[in-house]
Amino acid sequence: MYLAARLSLSFLWVFTGITSEFFAKEIGYEVLANAGIIGALADISSSATGCK
Protein backbone atom coordinates (compact mmCIF):
# COMPACT_ATOMS: atom_id res chain seq x y z
CA MET A 1 0.00 0.00 0.00
CA TYR A 2 2.85 2.39 0.84
CA LEU A 3 4.50 1.77 -2.53
CA ALA A 4 1.23 2.39 -4.39
CA ALA A 5 0.78 5.70 -2.56
CA ARG A 6 4.34 6.76 -3.40
CA LEU A 7 3.93 5.84 -7.06
CA SER A 8 0.59 7.65 -7.28
CA LEU A 9 2.05 10.79 -5.73
CA SER A 10 5.08 10.60 -8.02
CA PHE A 11 2.88 10.31 -11.10
CA LEU A 12 0.76 13.25 -9.96
CA TRP A 13 3.86 15.37 -9.33
CA VAL A 14 5.40 14.56 -12.74
CA PHE A 15 2.12 15.08 -14.59
CA THR A 16 1.59 18.45 -12.88
CA GLY A 17 5.12 19.54 -13.82
CA ILE A 18 4.66 18.54 -17.46
CA THR A 19 1.31 20.32 -17.60
CA SER A 20 2.78 23.47 -16.09
CA GLU A 21 5.75 23.49 -18.45
CA PHE A 22 4.05 22.72 -21.75
CA PHE A 23 0.31 23.40 -21.55
CA ALA A 24 -0.56 25.98 -18.92
CA LYS A 25 2.23 28.54 -18.52
CA GLU A 26 -0.18 31.48 -18.40
CA ILE A 27 -2.22 29.80 -15.68
CA GLY A 28 0.93 29.48 -13.58
CA TYR A 29 1.56 33.22 -13.87
CA GLU A 30 -2.10 33.92 -13.09
CA VAL A 31 -1.90 31.86 -9.91
CA LEU A 32 1.27 33.70 -8.88
CA ALA A 33 -0.37 37.08 -9.61
CA ASN A 34 -3.36 36.12 -7.46
CA ALA A 35 -0.92 35.48 -4.64
CA GLY A 36 0.64 38.92 -5.16
CA ILE A 37 3.77 37.62 -6.89
CA ILE A 38 4.39 39.64 -10.05
CA GLY A 39 7.25 40.87 -12.23
CA ALA A 40 10.74 39.51 -11.81
CA LEU A 41 9.79 37.55 -8.69
CA ALA A 42 7.10 35.72 -10.70
CA ASP A 43 9.69 34.88 -13.37
CA ILE A 44 12.07 33.50 -10.74
CA SER A 45 9.28 31.58 -9.02
CA SER A 46 7.99 30.07 -12.24
CA SER A 47 11.49 29.06 -13.32
CA ALA A 48 12.11 27.42 -9.97
CA THR A 49 8.86 25.46 -10.11
CA GLY A 50 8.70 24.65 -13.78
CA CYS A 51 5.86 27.01 -14.71
CA LYS A 52 8.03 29.16 -16.93
Using only the alpha carbons of the chain, give its radius of gyration: 13
Residue 19 and residue 52: Cα distance in Å, rounded?
A: 11
Tell which wins on pLDDT, 25 or 14: 14
Say if residue 3 is exposed, middle or buried (CB neighbours under 10 Å; 0-12, 13-18, 19+): exposed
pLDDT, one tens digit per residue, over 21-38 is 778 788 888 888 999 999
Between 45 and 48, the higher pLDDT residue: 45
Please state the domain extents for the chain. 23-52
What pLDDT does 52 receive? 46
Q: Give the span between the Cα atoms of 28 and 38, in whole angstroms.
A: 11
